[in-house]
Amino acid sequence: MVFHYNPAKIRHNDALQYFAEHQDKFPGLTPSIELFSNQQSLGTAKAMLTNYFAHHQQGDTRSLRVITSMFADKRVALNIVDSILSDEAALEQIASTSYPHPIGFDKLVLHHHNPRTEDEQRYKLRLHIYWRTPQEAAAEKIHLHRFEMASSPITGELTNILYRVKEFSEAEAVDGLTRNLGLPLPIAINPKDGLDAKEMHAYSGYLRDRDGVLHKQFMGTAKLQRLGALTFVPGQTYVQGLQFPHYVETNAETGHTNNDVCSTFYIHGPNLIDNAGRRIPVLFEPERLAEDDQIINTISNITPKDLKESLLKYRSLLSESLNFYEWLYDPKYGRDLSTGLVSGHLLTEILGDKEVVAAWRKHQPACVELLTQRSAALESIILDGRSIGSLDHDKKETRYFQQLINKAYSHSGGPKVWLKESGNLAHEFDRYVGALVGDYVRNSNEGDIRVLKPIWKLGTTSPRQGAHYGNIAVMLEAARAVWDIPLKKFRSGQMQDISVPDHFGPKIQEDEDVHMGIVSIIQRHFPLAEIISEEGQINLSQKDPVNGQTRWKVDPLDGSRNALHGNDQFAISIAHELYDGNNWVTTDAVVAKPVQKEIYWAELDQGAYFIDASGKETKLKIQSASGGSDQHSICDTLDGKLVDVSLRGLGDSRWQLMQNLEDGSNARIRATGSAALMFSYLAGHGNDAVMVTANHYDVAAGILIAEEAGAHINRSSFHRDIAGKQREFTLYFGAQTQTVKKELEDLIAATLTQMQG
């Protein structure tokens, strides 16, 4: 698989650059970083970390964060897990030092480094997998580490709640145990206003006596002042120093449980002595326990068999999660869908309901209003230059404002450009829901999806291969945004022909206005899009096309003559094409009827669909008179068939062709007047056959819709001398069955032969 979404490479390059600039402090580290970046395994991870900790100095949290960021990616996790699963000795070793933690996660010590030389330091590389719902078993206690650590979420989210010790009154020694239990001295930090200190009772964590028995022993009372909380998502890294008590909450990415798991890579630095001489971790309890000295029961290690099962299950989740993010960042959507996903997280938090997609569908106006309010707040924060630290981190919504602000400031064009492109959170969520329901899960076992993120179901969903829903979403957005432009003058009968003398057919002002509206929306999603329109060409390359190149074809108002004369049979036609190395292939199509508020659309190899004025969508499928067969039958001829005709360039031969249709085959003739609609109607909505002389941008969308519904289409080209100039024309024709199409083909061939002979 070729990954479009690959932030790991960026982080690895950033780490390499950082340590290259600090090679005086970390000599010889960059080669092991390069090796790990190119060959991610437990072995290369151990080599890199051992080299790093040979030179790490206490308090250097910057470099610890940078080295840990090397692990902050699902692909890295997948590769390391694969290397462990293929190594039975590694499974045995890891199982011997790992265990299921009482608060509900697998604490897997992937490597516990014991120094071989005086230059090396002890460290641990751990993988924490929180299988259960957030704090289902028990909440994590506020605690102080005896080591510096850094952590990177791989799946789910992790919120770090930070405190400082404001006061501490040490207790008397208990039972004469030898100990050094000093807490950190108060730190000169201005805490957030309004956060009062609360009294807590400090206990030793894992104080081992001479017999090796672990004790939880009362140390004294402390006043802790809450400094705030930050939520970290996959790809981010945080560092925890020695002086600050903290605890973490693990969340599914919406903040609501949905069979998701949180997992993190955790680097446990050397055990150190802080400025109070503390050698043990400290746990804080809100109430004093019944006993000041409690024995702590040890937890049994995980078995190699259970470890392997845990890693296999985790590997399955990583693979599915990668598929999901590959879909989320696929360039076929133009702007990726990640802002829509975060907007969905935000809406889920506001509503307190994990089934946010269902809520969006049932109560869309109310949901739009909620997200519109947040869009305004977000814009105010970004334009006023407020920092993330100014947000209220006690509110769950803040975690998603944090993510959106990070997106804005990391945008290549800057935060203002990001706001212009993606700041409408309701719009971005609508794009996401459309792609989620229409693309990602349409062929899943679920059939439909109500929750925000289908990967949490583990193995029940998969993206449709080759789907182009992103282009369709842009086309639908564009058509709906502009279809009211021509209606006012159409309904009042005030449309005027403004075409120049050499213009072939009528032109109205609304053509240009609709064209500009469509182009602006396409370019909002695809800034460098090549566009061919009746109104001109944009960004069109003068070079020969290359495999994979794409372009858009737009007919702003197909059927302008109808519109001028008060006939409501006119349409907006948009097509997307891909060059396959030999030909331009239409991959996506939308034909919209502004007056009726109806839409035909199709994706290559994914079918054709009709959306009525109420928004209901149905699949189009031609049912021929012969029961769906293309075999010839008495009903499968032109006799009595309704043929939609719009012919030009044939001169007097046009009348001969029409006469042959009516007299020779007894067909019924109609002239709808819009080429795009004529082919769309061929998809089972009002005619049996079509003959149109037109430009390709007139018919490209309608032809794909007809073909995806089961119709059969062909074309013939011919030349005529008009006013002393040779002009080329293309006659597109088709029918609901092969037999009728063949009859049309024979009639057209005979007419063209006679005309050019």
pLDDT tens digits for range 518-545:
999 988 888 788 998 877 787 777 788 8
**Two tokens at 56?**
């790490």
pLDDT classification of 141: cutoffs 50, 70, 90: confident
Where is pLDDT greater, at 355 or 578?
578
How far apart CA 26 and CA 132 sit, in angstroms, is: 39
Phi, psi (5° rounding) for residue 514? Answer: -65, -40
Least confident window among 208-222, 307-321, 621-635, 656-670: 621-635
Q: State residue 702's pLDDT score.
A: 96
Q: What tens digit of pLDDT does each residue of 304-319 get? A: 999 999 999 899 888 8
Contact 514, 475 (CB under 8 A): no
How far apart CA 292 and CA 123 sit, in angstroms, is: 31
Contact 739, 639 (CB under 8 A): no
Per-residue pLDDT at 420 exceeds 70: yes
Q: State residue 1's pLDDT score.
A: 38
Per-residue pLDDT at 40 exceeds 90: yes
Contact 331, 4 (CB under 8 A): yes
Per-residue pLDDT at 588 exceeds 70: yes
The angle that helices 61-69 and 7-21 make with each other, rounded to 10 degrees, is: 140
Q: Is the alpha carbon torsion for 529, 533, 539, 541 positive or negative?
A: positive
Where is pLDDT greater, at 430 or 539?
430
- CATH fold of 471-620 reads Fructose-1,6-Bisphosphatase; Chain A, domain 1 (3.30.540)
Q: What tens digit of pLDDT does each residue of 194-223 get? A: 356 788 998 887 777 788 788 888 888 888
Q: For 7-311, CATH number?
A: 2.60.120.10
Least confident window among 12-26, 364-378, 601-615, 661-675: 661-675
Per-residue pLDDT at 489 exceeds 50: yes
Range among 118-122, 189-193, 489-493, 696-700 with highest mean pLDDT value: 696-700
What is the per-residue burial (b if ≥16 Cβ within 10 Å, else e) of 60-88? bbebbbbbbbbbbbbbbbbbbbbbbeeee
Question: Where exactly are the structural domains of the chain?
Answer: 7-311, 330-467, 471-620, 642-756
Percent of the chain with pLDDT over 70: 83
How far apart CA 271 and CA 262 sit, in angstroms, is: 26
Q: State residue 378's pLDDT score.
A: 93
Q: For the residues 377-399, what does the mean pLDDT come to? A: 80
**642-756 has CATH 3.40.190.80 classification:** yes
Where is pLDDT greater, at 450 or 29?
29
Other Cβ atoms within 10 Å of 668 Cβ, number: 16
Q: State residue 267's pLDDT score.
A: 95
Q: For the residues 90-105, what does the mean pLDDT come to? A: 89
pLDDT classification of 115: cutoffs 50, 70, 90: confident
Nearest Cα neighbor of 557 from 469, 487, 501 is: 487
| Mean residue pLDDT across the chain | 82
Return all residues near 547 (Cβ < 8 A) that are at least 6 apart. 579, 580, 581
Q: Is the alpha carbon torsion for 56, 57, 58, 60 positive or negative?
A: negative
Per-residue pLDDT at 496 exceeds 80: no
Per-residue pLDDT at 341 exceeds 50: yes
Q: State residue 260's pLDDT score.
A: 63
The model's pTM is: 0.71
Q: State residue 151's pLDDT score.
A: 94
pLDDT classification of 631: cutoffs 50, 70, 90: very low
